[in-house]
Amino acid sequence: MKLYFASGNEHKKQEMKRLLGGFELTLPKEEGISFDPVENGSTFIENALIKARSLYEIVNQPVIADDSGLVCDGLGGNPGIHTARYGCTEEKKLTSQEQYTLLIKNLEGNIVRSARFVCALVLMLSKERIYIIEECVEGSIATTPRGIEGFGYDPVFLVEDTGRTAAELSAEEKDEHSHRGRAARKMNKLLMEVMNEKV
């Protein structure tokens, strides 16, 4: 089954491709499709739905969409749904390193360092047939970045029960523990059920 992945993020595509096994994932840009919906939802699920519906309107084929982010208790839930744009302005877009450096700075002196990565996945097979899965992984924010794997905030997110940041985990370990890994395993089962219905 070919699935359009409602994203422009190559890192996310590679991770999802790994997690969803035998399903082909296609980014809109790979087929010359201009795709940049306004993500104005108030939750991860709402934003994932916006992306899924926007791309489905264009391709009219099965779409999978992801919206994910980092929720820090010591920052009142921020960056949350604004994780990808944390610290950015219209004039300046921060690099991932600048963003997690800002996060550490904003938590300086804060004893509440608990946090979680959240992932909302939406599978849209038709306008009336939509499946939603949301998962998370608990952890905390490190005082200094560690590790070279992964992307985004991985170097500062200490994954529960591992004592390591997400950037210190191998791809296999990250898939086992991560919010996207947990959500994708459930999505994979759902996709297999859908495939079996068509056989």
Question: Which residues are identified as catalytic?
Answer: 67
Contact status, residue 99 vs residue 85, Cβ threshold 8 Å: no
Orientation of helix 10-19 relative to helix 179-198, angle to 10°: 60
Residue 110, H or E segment: none
Number of H-type helices and E-type strands within the chain = 5, 6
Residue with tokens 């200490």: 158
Which amino acid, one-letter code, is at 77? G
32-36: which pairs have CB atoms within 8 A and are 24 or more residues apart? Answer: 33/58, 33/59, 35/6, 35/8, 36/8
- Map residue 114 onto helix, strand or coil: strand
Q: How far is CA 10 from the centre of its chain?
A: 12
